[in-house]
Amino acid sequence: MTFALGGCTQVFFQPYRGEIATPEKFGLAYEEVRFRSQDGTALYGWFLPAHGKVAGTVLFLHGNAENISTHIASVAWLPARGFNVFLFDYRGYGASDGTPTLAGVQQDIEAAMQILLLRTDIDHDRIVVFGQSLGGALAAYYVAHSQSRDAIRALVIDSAFSSYRGIVREKLAATWLTWPFQLLPALTVDERFSPLPAMRLISPIALLIIQGDQDTIVPPHHAQQLYDAALEPKELWIVPGAGHIQSLRHAARQDRLVDYLTEVVMRGGKQAGPVIPPPAHSHSSLPVRRGHPWTSSGRV
C-alpha cells in the first residue's frame, strides 16, 4: 500500500538540478546556507537580509517545479520592504540531496525553521511562513503540526490546492482521455499530508489565503475550501485577473501584503477573533474577505 500511495504522489514533485539565477541577479546580498534535514539529508538555501529596519523574517516554501533559482522572483522584493527571507530547496531539488517525498519534505521544512531559530541576527518572535502552490499545501500541514508553532506569527498561502487527491482527480476529469481514471487517486495518492484537515489546527496563528480568480492550474474553489475549514483569525484575498502565483506581481499588492505582515508580526500575530485589516490603499482593487462578510477595499 505504501508503494501504491507513493506512485502518483511523486507527480507533485518536478525538481530541477540546474541553477538559473542567483540573488545577485536581483541586486540582493545573500548568504548560502548548507544544513541537514532531520534524517541527515543535505539541504541548500539562501538567506536574504532585509534592507534597513527589519520588520520580520519570512520562511519561503516554493512550488513543485524547478528550484529556488527560478522561484526567487516571488520573494526578491521582500528585503527592500523590511523582511529577511530564507528560501531553500526541498530534498531532490537544486543543490539539495535526496529524493522528495511528502514526509521527507516536512522534515526539511522543520530543519529550515530550526536554522532560523538558531540565528542570532533575527527576531525569533517575528517569523512568517509563506508558501506558494505546492509550497502552500506543504506550509498548511507544517504550521498545523510543527513542533515550532510558537515561533510562527503568520501563515500566508498563495494559490494552494486543498487536497492532493482532489487536485489530481480534477485534472483527470478535465479531459475525455483521462476521465475514466479519476478514481485512481483514491488508491495511488498519499492524502496523509493534505492541507484541508490541517486548516482548523492553524489557529490562533494568523492566516492569510491569496488566490487569483483566473487561476486555471489551481481553481479558486480550493482557496475557498481552505478558508472555510480554518478558524479565526483568517483572511481570504481573491485577486481579480490574476493567474497561478501571479497575485503579488504588482507593487500595490506587494505593499498590501507588507502592511498585513508588519501589523501581524508587530502585535505578536496570535489572537482570538478576526485579524484587523491593514489600512486600505486607494490604488488597490483587491477584494478582501475578513471573517464572514465580503468587503471591498480600494505552478502547482
Pairing of strands 234-239, 206-212: parallel
Q: Which residues lie closer than 8 Å to 215 by C-beta, 6 or more apart?
A: 159, 242, 243, 244, 246
Adjacent-strand bridge partners of 158: 132, 210
In the chain, % of residues over pLDDT 70: 79
pLDDT at 277 over 50: no
Average pLDDT over residues 99-116: 97
Confidence bin at 12 (pLDDT 50/70/90): confident
Cα separation, 90 vs 105, whole angstroms: 6
In this prediction, residue 179 carries a pLDDT of: 38
Residues 26-44 pLDDT 10s: 999 999 999 999 999 999 9
Average pLDDT over residues 184-204: 82
Confidence bin at 191 (pLDDT 50/70/90): confident
pLDDT at 4 over 60: no
pTM recorded for the entire structure: 0.84
pLDDT at 80 over 80: yes
pLDDT at 91 over 70: yes
pLDDT at 108 over 70: yes
Class of domain 2-296: alpha beta
pLDDT at 292 over 50: no
DSSP class of 196: H
In DSSP notation, 9-60 reads: HGGG-EE--S----GGGGT---EEEEEE-TTS-EEEEEEEPPSSS--EEEEE
In the chain, % of residues over pLDDT 90: 74
Q: What is the dihedral of CA 151, 156, 161, 165, to 10 degrees?
A: 0
Average pLDDT over residues 229-239: 98
Mean pLDDT for the chain overall? 85
